[in-house]
Amino acid sequence: MDRATTPRTAAERDVPDVAGLVRAACGVDPGQAEASDVIIAAVENGLPLGVLASQAATVDDASWAGPLEAEAARAAVRAATMEVLAQCLNPTDRVAPCTLPWRPSSGRDIDLAVAASDFTRVVEVLDATALVPVAGWRTPTEAGWLRLDEGRVVDLIEAQAVADRDLVVTEQGWRLNLDAQLMHTTGGVARRGAVRLVDLADLAWLRRQPGFALEGVSTSRGADMVEGAERALELGSASFPWRPPSSVTSRGRRLVRQLARRRPPRLAFSGIDGSGKTSHAWALAGSLERAGVPVRTLWNRPGFELRALERVARTAKAVLGDRSTTPALARQLADDPQAIDARSRKGAIGWIWLLLICLQTVATGRRAAIRSRLAGEVLILERHLLDAMVDVEWQYANVPRRLQRYLLRATAVRPDLTFRIVVDPATANARNPGDIFRPDLPLVFGREKGTEAGRGLTG
């Protein structure tokens, strides 16, 4: 496995003309266009912003600072994951990243190609590390792991067995050979049903490598789509991501339009902290995306990520003369026995604050549902109604909650399918001791969810 400190090869420095692709697709020089338009086009097409900014001479543009910093932060997380893998594996382990060396690894996960004859042993090695195997994501040819940092999921790793002949040794360690790399690129295009500019950049990089030939997979749907996108780009008659024109009959077009109007499914996971909601949601989202199905995920919890309500809270504290600097929720999480007596946790003020919290929770869910429907995306809820009801019961025990409970039950997003993950609280706590709750709270939290809150609250 190659390490981040290894010097780059000439092939890695042979970066495609990303700015030229954006110029051809958008009809304007990326260095002269509105920064927000160029950045949005780059992100939608999977292009690395750092490479584009360097080629377009916009690195010092203040409008690019935020997006470039965000990309650098994601790249640092991904580099840390690659370093973990490098420390776990030996140089003789035939494991290769599927991302081409000219650009940083992007996307929701790290795709690894593992020689079929080494696959079982490599999986055993990674299982023995601090990486967390993804439950239910294990076949003789596929496996997945999560990397956690302070109890939070920061990266997802997918390993897939490939033919031994598809891997070759380079200056940078093991890599997919050109034919296998091309099949990986065009296969992703076929699954998505669309060609992004990054796919054309990858193909441009491959074409510069000695011995490359597109004809080897010219009969594949993905290769045909890439060639069609290149022709459309030359003619200036396409927008990107590019999708091939439909060739169905008029009756087929009507059927396509009818299917497009159907709401994509909504799925939800529910369970105590440490039960595996996030792991299952990420695994499901990754599987759907690999199949070319667009996905939107949502983590939505009452009282967390207050956004605009933070200003309301500060204003209310100033009016009431409340000098406390630590939010009541933070004190509850820290097991402060006086937190339950905070003004926001009792009386009329607590009742109003809980109502605002519930309204924000419902609005966040509804907004995600609307956006996912407009974009044709499957909506995956990492937490749902039962979890919200338990949070209300626990955080606001001294506040009348009938109206707020009714509001959640009556207006929360209705999933088409809900997965309730039942795990013993002690097991969940041992599995995820670094969660936001103190070590003993998941036990109480789990018993309440399994008994009182579980009766009649699933809506």
Closest by CA position to 194, among listed 231, 243, 232: 243
The answer to whether residues 373 and 438 belong to one domain is: yes
- Position 7 scores a pLDDT of 40
Domain end point (choices 212, 235, 258): 235
Same domain for 332 and 217, yes or no, is: no
CA angle 139, 144, 148 (to 5 degrees): 155
Buried b (16+ CB within 10 A) or exposed e, 181-203: bbbbbbbbbbebebbbbbbbbbb
pLDDT over threshold 90, residue 59 = no
Tokens representing residue 423 in the block: 């795990």
**Residue owning tokens 């382990």:** 93
Q: Provide the 3-class DSSP secondary structure of residue 419.
A: strand
Task: Give the model's pLDDT for residue 118.
Answer: 93
Are 110 and 229 part of one and the same domain? Answer: yes
Tell me if 2 is assigned to some domain: no
pLDDT band at 214 (very low <50, low <70, confident <90, very high): low
Structure tokens at 2: 């190659």
Residue 264 DSSP one-character state: P
> What is the residue-wise DSSP string for 381-410?
ESS-HHHHHHHHHHHTTTS--HHHHHHHHH
In the three-class reduction of DSSP (H, G, I as helix; E, B as strand; rest coil), residue 105 is classed as coil
Let me know whether 216 and 302 are in one domain: no
- Lowest pLDDT segment from 70-74, 132-136, 222-226, 239-243: 222-226
The reply to whether 32 and 143 lie within a common domain is yes
Average pLDDT over residues 67-85: 90
pLDDT digit string, tens, across residues 95-146: 999 988 888 877 778 999 999 999 999 999 999 998 999 876 788 899 999 9
Distance of CA 229 to the CA centre of its chain: 27
Whether residue 108 contacts residue 91, with contact meaning beta carbons closer than 8 Å, is answered with no
Confidence at 162, pLDDT banded by 50, 70, 90? very high
Beta-carbon contacts of residue 425 (< 8 Å; ≥ 6 apart): 272, 442, 443, 445, 446, 447
Q: What is the mean pLDDT of residues 350-376?
A: 88
Which residues are 167's β-sheet partners? Answer: 176
The total of other beta-carbon atoms located within 10 Å of residue 433's CB is: 13
Kindly calculate the radius of gyration of the chain based on its CA atoms and give it in whole angstroms: 25
Least confident of 151-160, 298-307, 320-329: 320-329
CATH code of the domain covering residue 154: 3.30.460.10
Please give the average per-residue pLDDT across 150-159, as a whole number: 87
Q: Provide the angle, in degrees to the nearest 10, between the axes of the packed helices 197-207 and 18-26.
A: 140
- Say whether 157 sits in a helix, a strand or coil: strand
Residues 290 and 371 in one domain: yes
Q: What 3-state DSSP class applies to 225?
A: helix
The DSSP element (H or E) to which 19 belongs, if any, is helix 18-26
Residue 441 pLDDT exceeds 60: no
- Distance, in Å, from the CA atom of 241 to the CA atom of 45, rounded to the nearest integer, reads 6
Q: What is the predicted pLDDT for the residue at 433?
A: 55
The pLDDT score that the predictor gives to residue 258 is 43
Q: Are residues 148 and 219 in the same domain?
A: yes
Q: What is the pLDDT of residue 334?
A: 60
> Which tokens sit at 381?
């809820």
391 inside domain: yes
Structurally, the chain folds into a number of domains equal to 2
> For residues 284 and 267, what is the distance between their CA atoms, to the nearest angstrom?
10
Could you report the per-residue pLDDT of 255-290, keeping only the tens digit for each?
Answer: 444 444 567 889 999 888 778 888 888 888 888 887
Give the Cα separation of 348 and 385 in Å (integer).
24
In a domain, 243, yes or no: no
- The answer to whether position 364 is within a domain reads yes
301 and 162, same structural domain?
Answer: no
The whole-number pLDDT of residue 12 equals: 44
Q: Tell which wins on pLDDT, 309 or 118.
A: 118
- Domain encompassing residue 102: 10-235
Q: Which pLDDT tens digit goes with each residue over 316-340?
A: 767 776 666 666 666 666 666 776 6
- Domain membership flag for residue 183: yes
Report yes or no on 254 lying in a domain. no
Are 92 and 228 part of one and the same domain? Answer: yes
Residue bearing the bigger pLDDT, 357 or 7: 357
The answer to whether residues 14 and 208 touch, using CB atoms and an 8 Å cutoff, is yes
**CATH code, 273:** 3.40.50.300
Query: Between these two residues, 432 and 195, which has the higher pLDDT value?
Result: 195
- 218 & 367 share domain: no
Kindly tell me if the per-residue pLDDT of 361 is higher than 50.
yes
Structure tokens at 245: 């024109």
Mean pLDDT (the chain, rounded): 79
Select the more confidently predicted residue: 242 or 449.
Answer: 242
The percent of residues in the chain predicted with pLDDT above 90, rounded, is 20
Query: How many CB atoms are closer than 10 A to CB 398?
Result: 12
Give the C-alpha distances (Å, rounded to integers) separating 300 from 191, 304, 360, 428. 30, 8, 10, 20
189, pLDDT greater than 60: yes
Which has more pLDDT, 428 or 404? Answer: 404
d(CA 52, CA 48): 6
Q: CA 454 to CA 456: how far, in whole Å? A: 6
Asked if the model's pLDDT at residue 247 lies above 50, the reply is: no
Specify whether the CB–CB gap between 369 and 413 falls below 8 A: yes
Average pLDDT over residues 17-23: 90
Is 242 within a domain? Answer: no
Both 230 and 277 in one domain: the answer is no
Q: How far apart are CA 354 and CA 223, in angstroms?
A: 55
Q: Is residue 256 part of a domain?
A: no
If we measure between CA atoms, which residue out of 89, 218, 94 comes closest to residue 165? 94
Say whether 265 sits in a helix, a strand or coil: coil
Q: Could you give the CA distance from residue 248 to residue 190 in angstroms, rounded to a whole number? A: 18
8 Å CB contact between 437 and 275: no
